[in-house]
Amino acid sequence: MIRPHPLAVLAFSGGMDSTTLAAHYNAQGYALLLLSVDYGQRHVRELEAARRIAAHYRAEHHVVDLTSVGAFMPGSALTDGTVDVPEGHYAEASMRATVVPNRNAILVNVAVGIASARAAGVVALGIHAGDHAIYPDCRPAFINALQASITASLEGFPTPIVEAPFVYLTKTDIARLAADLDAPLGMSWSCYNGGALHCGRCGTCVERREAFTDAGLTDPTEYEARGAA
């Protein structure tokens, strides 16, 4: 009897990390359910990228509408048009302006509910070590607490394992892994601004460019500006 591939539900933004995450689980033989979320972010370029990458992997893809939730979270450069997107390195204190409070907990709990209903074995996030300084919900302690929470909340029901395989990797490590897995990073979108091209100046653009440079890899991204990071 032919057994179906195990299912992995991925929190999927369409950025560099989540695209590499999809490549990682695809290489392991999982069927992929890529779950993107519209939480009222200032542009939809990343959701467009997510759709293209899902098609590349022939993966099931859904966009969950949480725009009403995002509307109640002013003060973040990602959801509030009155807050300027900070420029510079991702680790700088100014990047705190990009925090959406409890975002990963909200998104991953939606993914966990869907995963349980679908009897998926894994829910995965693409968070990495470079996120730890600014984002509390990207740290190992968050993943551990999250697993304990969902194990309790789903007692007696299918309970997925929450995985963050890149949580101790740098962005440069992820760039190298993506190259090894032939991940379509040229399709991905990282920029916090929603222009025709990556701006090359916001924190996530600077981090992306730096990762390819440090990894010694060709950056497939076209930027508006290519000044020094």
Residue 108 belongs to a domain: yes
pLDDT at 91: 56
Residue 229 belongs to a domain: no
Give the pLDDT of the chain (229 residues) as one tens digit per residue: 344 689 999 999 999 999 999 999 999 999 999 999 887 676 788 899 999 999 999 999 999 998 877 666 665 545 545 555 555 555 555 555 555 667 788 889 999 999 999 999 999 999 998 877 778 888 999 999 999 999 999 999 999 999 999 999 999 999 999 999 999 999 999 888 878 899 998 888 999 999 999 999 999 999 995 543 4
Its pTM stands at 0.87
Q: If residue 9 lies in a helix (H) or strand (E), which one and from where to where?
A: strand 7-11
For the chain, how many structural domains are there in total? 1
pLDDT at 227: 46
CB of 43 within 8 A of CB of 78?
A: no
pLDDT at 48: 94
Neighbouring CB atoms inside 10 A of 56's CB total 15
pLDDT at 58: 97
Residue 1 belongs to a domain: no
Q: What angle do CA 202, 203, 204 make, to 5 degrees?
A: 95
pLDDT at 220: 95
Residue 20 belongs to a domain: yes
Local structure of residue 176 (DSSP, 8 states): H
Residue 164 belongs to a domain: yes
- Return the amino acid letter for 14: G
Neighbouring CB atoms inside 10 A of 10's CB total 30
Q: Which residues contact 95 (CB under 8 A, 6 or more apart)?
A: 86, 88, 89, 134, 203
CB of 209 within 8 A of CB of 185?
A: no
DSSP bridge pairs for 64:
37
Domain that holds residue 79: 7-215
Which CATH number characterizes residue 20's domain?
A: 3.40.50.620
